[in-house]
Amino acid sequence: MNQVFIPIVRFVSALYLAAKNPALAILIFLAGILSVSGQNLKWPHGKKAVIVLTYDDGLNSHLDIAIPQLDSFGLRGTFFLYGHLSENRFADWKKTSENGHETGNHSLFHPCRLEDSAGKSPTFSSENYDIPSMIREIRVMDRLLFAITGKHATSYAYPCSETVIGGFDYGESLKETGFFSCARIGGDKTIITDFSNLDYFKVPSYSVNAGTDASTLICYTEEVLKEKGLGIFVFHGIGGDYLSVDADVHLELLQFLKSHTNEIWVATFSEVMEYLQDSEQKL
């Protein structure tokens, strides 16, 4: 809603100003058009587009398959972890963080709506939370991540892409904690091109369905490139666990990204969001 609302406000403001000061109104309106279309934005090293690879839930298939594949191409991903981690893999997550991948916060108990919480106690359904308890949980997860990796997470991914907890949106409360510079929601093959109206605490993405083939992933990437935009993949299992895509499919996507490194910037979620926030200040 925000992405539509702000240009309308700009347009109405320009009309109002036009009645009082036509020259000033034209200047402001033109500046608005330029910044909304993102024409002033330049990606680093002359790249044309950006891809962010994110992986949710801290799964063993990330450590065993996705990360070795990423490392073999020198590409980095963002891994959103929640409290359900195997303690015998803590050292592997620490190494992942040390090797330049990002480890983000995905809450402690991963609350979702009751209808999406098959097999879980209703205590952990998002309807039964309130904002203070959710924020407390995120704070505990921050300490757990710090204990494992020695770093505080700077990004967050909403569990089940739900921004509402106990009937209230907690995006603003999340921002007010000061823990994070950005937070990711879900989406269906979203390509971000309107950077001036991007809400850094509700960044849309492409939630990849189980069994998606390589050509679908590559087609989306080509579209991101064509649009000179930003595409954020959300994966779960890679060659195992759940909601998984085949290891070969993931490998093929990485091969494509590697062969287009002169055009596509592949970076972590926080890195790209901080770059955008920094660019915004310079505009």
Residues that bind Zn ion (CB under 5 A): 56-57
Residue with tokens 């608005």: 32
Smaller CB separation from Zn ion, 56 or 271? 56
The residue among 35 and 103 lying less far from Zn ion, judged by its C-beta, is 103
Q: Which residue is nearest to Zn ion (CB)?
A: 56
Quote the least distance from Cβ 241 to Zn ion, whole Å.
12
Q: Minimal distance in Å, beta carbon 82 to Zn ion?
A: 7
Is residue 106 within 8 A of residue 82, CB to CB? The reply is: yes
The nearer residue to Zn ion, 56 or 142, going by C-beta atoms, is 56
CB of 161 to Zn ion, least distance (A): 8
> Quick one: which of 76, 78, 58, 52 has its CA closest to 187?
52
Find the shortest distance in angstroms from Cβ 153 to Zn ion.
14
Least gap, CB of 107 to Zn ion (angstroms): 8
Nearer to Zn ion, 56 or 102 (CB): 56
Q: CB 175 → Zn ion: shortest distance, Å? A: 20
Shortest distance in whole angstroms from residue 185 CB to Zn ion: 12
Select 209 or 277, whichever has its Cβ closest to Zn ion.
209
- Residues 166, 130: contact at Cβ < 8 Å? yes
Q: Which is nearer to Zn ion, 110 or 175 (CB)?
A: 110
- Closer to Zn ion by Cβ: residue 12 or 210: 210
Give the DSSP per-residue string, the chain. Answer: -HHHHHHHHHHHHHHHHHHH-HHHHHHHHHHHHHHHTTTT---GGG-SEEEEEEEES--HHIIIIIHHHHHHHT---EEEE-S---GGGHHHHHHHHHTT-EEEE--SS--B-GGG-TTS-GGGBGGG--HHHHHHHHHHHHHHHHHHHSS---EEE-GGG--EETTEE-HHHHHHT-S-SEEE---SS--B---TT--TTSB--EEPPTT--HHHHHHHHHHHHHHT-EEEEEE--BSSSSS-B-HHHHHHHHHHHHHTTTTEEE--HHHHHHHHHHHHHH-
**Is the CB of 51 or the CB of 157 nearer to Zn ion?**
157
Q: At closest approach, how far in Å is the CB of 110 from Zn ion?
A: 6
DSSP state of 202: S
**Six-digit token pair at 235?**
């994966």
